[in-house]
Structure 1
Amino acid sequence: MKALKIKDVVEKVSLGQSTVYKMVAAGTFPKPFQIAPNRVAWVESEIDDWLSELASRRTGGQEAGRGE
């Protein structure tokens, strides 16, 4: 298991830090866990699963913009 810092998370999902934290608060993004006082991290496999779920919701299972 790999723990990701917020900078790693935002790079991986192409969202800003504030957006990630808003989505966590709304329950639409994986929650971080505390690894030390004042330090949280995300489980990389949970982020990967979240991304896979979003990708699987594409219309007809096709890539956006391909027009197939």
Structure 2
Amino acid sequence: GIFAERDTWINRDVINNFVKVFRPLKKKYDLKWYDAVHAFANPSNPEFNSAMAQEAEQHAMKFIATHLLGRK
């Protein structure tokens, strides 16, 4: 998952609860945090951050390729 440190809706407590559920299931997951607000990768957001959005997209695509498509 890709998350924003300054997100007041999907915050660390929410994600920590998610991890508590996922960890015992032994499912693959990856957490990446950005010093940003909710929807930082949305170009219509006044706090849009192009560099972080590109990095987040690359991170997500790498996870998908490796863990869902079996690519290295």
TM-score normalised according to structure 2 size: 0.30
Bigger proportion of residues as helix: 1
TM-score normalised according to structure 1 size: 0.31
